[in-house]
Amino acid sequence: MFEIVIDTGGTFTDAVLMDKERKISTAKFPTNPSDPSESIMGSIGLLAEQRKLTAEEVLADTTALVIGTTLSTNAILEKKGAKCCLIHTKGFRDIPELGSKVWQRDIYNLRLPPPDYLIPRQLRFGVEERMQYDGKVITPLNKNDVLKAVKKAKEHGVEVPIVCFLHSYINPSHEEQAAQIIKKEYPDVVLSSHILRRWMEYDRLSTTEIAGYVKPVTARFLRALAKRMKDASFKGTSLLITCAGGVASPDVIMDNPSLLIGSGPAAGPLLGQFLGKLAGFENVIVLDMGGTSSDLSMLPDLTITTTTQMKIGEYKNASETVDVACIGAGGGSIARLDERGMLYVGPESAGADPGPACYGKGGKVPTVTDADVVLGYIPADYFLGGAILLDKRLAEKVIEEKVARPLGIATVEAAHAIASLVEENMSNEIFLVAVRKGLDPRGFSLVVGGGAGPVHALAVAARLGIKQVYIPRQAAVFCAFGASLADYRYILNRFLYSRDDQLDLNAVKKLFKSLEEEGRAILKRQGVPAQDMKLIRGAEMRYFGQLNDVNVALEATKDGEPFTEATLKELIAKFHEQHRALFGWSDPSLPTVLATLKLQAIGVRPPLGLEKKPAGPKDPSAALKRKRPVYFKELGGFVQAPCYNADLLHHGHVIMGPAIVEETKTTIVVPQGAELFVDPYENYIVRR
């Protein structure tokens, strides 16, 4: 019996297979952006080869297939989504313009060009209706206006209509009435009250626009994948990774496609948290450096934080998302000189096709991977275990032509400048993320993933003053491995906005009861048995007079446990505690506001366990593979560095830098002054 987890990135599709004994196989397959399902099948084929089986035999014995995809995110970034219209409360046509002005960071720049709106103004149709802030109907829905809007949508060739009425977060009845009319022509109508129950009008509208915009492309992908899986004898459960760091069934995803936006990177912090606990770390920074970008997250006290401020291109996704920052720094990041002769690396990427010049697929621009090959960090004869032979001469040629010659420096110096600059970019981003959260990166350990991560991790750690780096054996398939830890997870909201001293406790009880019924129904729909359901109550809270909320969560509730006065006091006490942790102060004498009630509905999946291995000798000489030239500037240039075969390294082995560990799917660069130790789980702890 197998479980397969797949993460389709911009350059490679990563796959992890686990059997019932929890033995793990991993694979990387080039991503086909035009047909991700082809890359998924290709990666499954590689996993099957390792088990000496066919893809059909593996899938026939697979109980669960978990997939993370960048397809929906890319549809927004590349403007390849559906043609949508907006059906809105009459008089509120310009919410996209007004909201985006606040959302843009440079709000005082009068020369800033206007955003490219997902729904242009001529495709926004107002209808007469009005709901009051408390859910009371002021003006009934004008059904004739809805019919006229549908007619206009048909005339303009609209694929997906979106409905967003004022105050529908508190009372969705008008949106639901409009949907009954619209569905006669458009079965796939998207309602803001079904996507996001939040009171910020622009947040709700923008997130709903995103959901509608990617719905057709998501549906096509899921249909194509289902057909491929059926043809390949798969009869198990298909699940998708969500932006909340959980998994959901395809039908739940189609109800709210915005859950797929930013879903892949959300699995990285899950693995960072898991590995941090294994290693006994208190605070963890997770850095996942892939082929196209680097994803980073801060886990103080090993706590995964979430945000409702995700930016996708020019648009805001206010769905609750694992807080992951992304920077255009990956193995495929392109190095270039600007008109002043200044060197830049990223954010543009060479992707998988043509990819870096050393791939020999026609790449004409230098990338980070090309620099790593020239410096000897990546072995040209052992990339992906020798599956792809890299051409060092092509890498040297593009770096010499595009960087070294214009700057008047040697090719190897140019390569080192490229590698150093991408490390500086990542270090700066980590520092800025930490400072914005009031955190000091020197008090954290660095957990590293991605094919390119272990190559540059120690240099990044040195720049930040971080003493410990943890690299799992599965670093090259980091997010895919992390997704194997994901439970079913759905986050539900209900608007409240009431001071604690004016709170109607019975109203809160009713709202939580409604949330819990909805949460259980969603989990049950996905086949989660009652004994595996876990419900966590919480709220978004603030001090009265503040503008921003703080997320507060309680312990999981027991089945049927009521919300009482004691529960409310516990929630308020947690808020004061959380506020002090975030901002350095709290004042229990001040009134608090419960702005939004929240419920996490979790379906617990089988836990992941890693086998502990007995300690062996410290001497790693039995794993020594060869010595070859590797560039270390602090040692004056190229040195004959010992290179170790990762397959022969076991618990207890200690390697002193300078050295290279050649994994099948990545390379660990151990600089002078660093010590690598193989821990009981045969992962790597590197200390400076």
Q: What is the pLDDT of residues 19-61, one digit of tens each?
A: 877 788 888 888 877 777 788 889 999 998 989 998 888 898 9
The two structure tokens encoding residue 570: 């516990």
Look at residue 662 in the predicted model and tell me its pLDDT. Answer: 95
Q: How many CB atoms lie within 10 A of CB 462?
A: 17
| Domain positions in the chain | 2-76+218-260, 87-213, 268-329+421-483, 488-603, 621-687
The CATH number assigned to the domain with range 488-603 reads 3.30.1490
How is domain 268-329+421-483 classified at the CATH fold level? Nucleotidyltransferase; domain 5 (3.30.420)
Q: Which CATH code, of 1.10.10.10, 3.40.50.300, 3.30.420.40, 3.30.1490.100, is assigned to 2-76+218-260?
A: 3.30.420.40
* Alpha carbon separation from 96 to 102, 116, 120, 131, 262 (Å, rounded): 10, 10, 9, 20, 22
Spell out the alpha helix ranges (H) of 1-66. Answer: 36-50, 55-60
Look at residue 105 in the predicted model and tell me its pLDDT. Answer: 57
Look at residue 157 in the predicted model and tell me its pLDDT. Answer: 95
Question: Using an 8 Å Cβ cutoff, are 275 and 470 in contact?
Answer: yes
Q: At what angle do helices 392-399 and 368-375 cross, to 10 degrees?
A: 120
* Alpha carbon separation from 548 to 176, 196, 384, 545, 579 (Å, rounded): 30, 18, 47, 9, 11
Look at residue 23 in the predicted model and tell me its pLDDT. Answer: 81
Look at residue 348 in the predicted model and tell me its pLDDT. Answer: 85
Q: Which residue stretches of the chain have pLDDT < 70?
A: 10, 101-107, 352
- Please tell me if the domain spanning 2-76+218-260 has the same topology as the one spanning 268-329+421-483: yes
Look at residue 107 in the predicted model and tell me its pLDDT. Answer: 66
Look at residue 330 in the predicted model and tell me its pLDDT. Answer: 87
Look at residue 102 in the predicted model and tell me its pLDDT. Answer: 57
The pTM of this model reads 0.88
* Contact residues for 542 (Cβ-Cβ < 8 A; gap 6+): 548, 549, 550, 592, 593, 595
